[in-house]
A and B are shown apart, each in its own frame.
Chain A
Amino acid sequence: MKILVIVDENPYSMYVIKEISRISLNTWSDITIMGFIDENEKHRDVNSTSIAQAMVEYLQIFSSSYNDSFCPYTFPKEMHFSSLDKNHFLLSASGKKKLNLVISKNEPVASIVNKVQQERPSLLAIGCDKSYNCQWKNKKVPSTVAQKVSCSVLVVKETKNPETIVCCLDNNHITQTSLELINQLATLYKADLKIVGIAENNLMRDRVENTMKEIMLYYLNQDIPIWLEVVDKSILSSFLNQVAQKDMVALWLGKQSFLEKFISKEKINHLINDTPSTVLLLR
């Protein structure tokens, strides 16, 4: 599994690093951690910028989660970024698996979208404030990126173990990749899985139930218990608000997503920017 992690200097980025450390302990993923130099620090030596210092601290936190010698990464003694080209800098901790820290001088959103196209990660992870609009250089970077990239996105608000992962079903578009991602997170958090089908005035109940049946069979074969629930479109918004207070919300949002008809971009932005829950957008 390949993971792209986007960080800045704010506390939520520390949370995302802690979450990714936990995921990597289980999955031994190839990881790229990417940060951006602030406009007013662009002329300084990269290693003295606030983002470089924060990322070195993140790498130390990451390495401290491996408290024995069994580790797929090789943490360098000298925590020093070297120039890749005039706008990019690298600190590598790769060993058996890749762990690269990259600093960019470019504009974050476009750079992140490009990086996703280049590296094709299975997951992009990014932190975000949990109760008010995120501090990402006064722009809503997490919600903008989450809507623009082609891979699944995990938006982390704080370090916590969700008891339940609530997955809102897309009747048209459930990829094997997205199921595998949910399975890894459910294994990590030892969380219950709740699959939620969305119906509209009972019209789509048959279709929803068929898709839910397929999912149920998939999990029965895996010997994993799941909860099933059908929610009417009319109460979907309040249902998501309630779930987003304590559980992890997972939404399937592919290119031809059925859910996109039911959940507006504004609603998704609200889930990302203004709720305490970790949000997983599946593609």
Chain B
Amino acid sequence: MANQDKIKILILDDEPIVTKRLKSSLEKIGYEVETFNRSIDALERCRKHRFDIVITDLKMEGIDGIEFLTEVKELYPDTEVIVITGFATMDTAKESFKRGVLDFLAKPFRISELKEVLHKATEKIKAKKQGK
């Protein structure tokens, strides 16, 4: 992918082991990835910069994932949000979808599962850019 065409992804998870693993796997397949372990830092970055896709955990200290994704969707309704969570509940799944997330992945998941969702997100973004 040429640099200007690269899909920009922000990953927020309070566990560095998770962000590190995802960053390296997604960069290998051509995505431009920034990672954060604190929601306040991720939100600050989002206020200054638009990402095509945001991947966020839910259970975090300070601003939780639902608050974070709500603000991201308010700032950029076209940004596709994917929730990843280690403590999934029926309510968090419903709440996430009500707020317009593209998909909800409970941990543990394989990278291939995330790649499948990212592929869907990328197709959607490309279609929007082409005005379909």
Contacts and interface: CB of A to CB of B under 8 A. Distances in A.
Interface string B109-126: 110110000000000000
Given A70-B94, A222-B59, A187 B107 contact: no
Interface string A25-59: 11111100000000000000000000000000000
B108 A180 contact: yes
A100 to B, nearest CB: 15
Given A27-B88, A70-B97, A187-B89, A177 B112 contact: no
B106 A184 contact: yes
A157 interface: no
Contacts of B108: 1, 122, 176-178, 180-181
A122 B14 CA distance: 22
**Most chain A beta-carbon contacts within 10 A, residue among B88, B93, B103:** B88
**Most chain B beta-carbon contacts within 10 A, residue among A29, A96, A180, A222:** A180
Interface residues of A, number: 23
A221 B15 CA distance: 9
A30 B116 CA distance: 12
A181 B108 CA distance: 6
A183 B112 contact: no
Contact of B110 (A26, A28, A122): A122
A222 B89 CA distance: 16
A120 interface: yes
B95 to A, nearest CB: 11
Contact of B90 (A1, A25, A177): A25
A183 B86 contact: yes
Interface of B: 14-15, 17-18, 59, 61, 86-90, 93-94, 97, 103-110, 112-113
The 3 closest A-B pairs by CB, nearest first: A27-B106, A180-B107, A177-B108
Given A2-B109, A177-B107, 10 more contacts: A1-B113, A2-B113, A26-B93, A28-B106, A122-B108, A176-B108, A183-B86, A183-B87, A184-B86, A184-B107
19 contacts: A1-B108, A25-B90, A26-B88, A26-B89, A26-B93, A26-B106, A27-B88, A27-B106, A28-B106, A176-B18, A177-B108, A180-B86, A181-B108, A183-B86, A184-B86, A184-B87, A184-B107, A222-B86, A223-B61
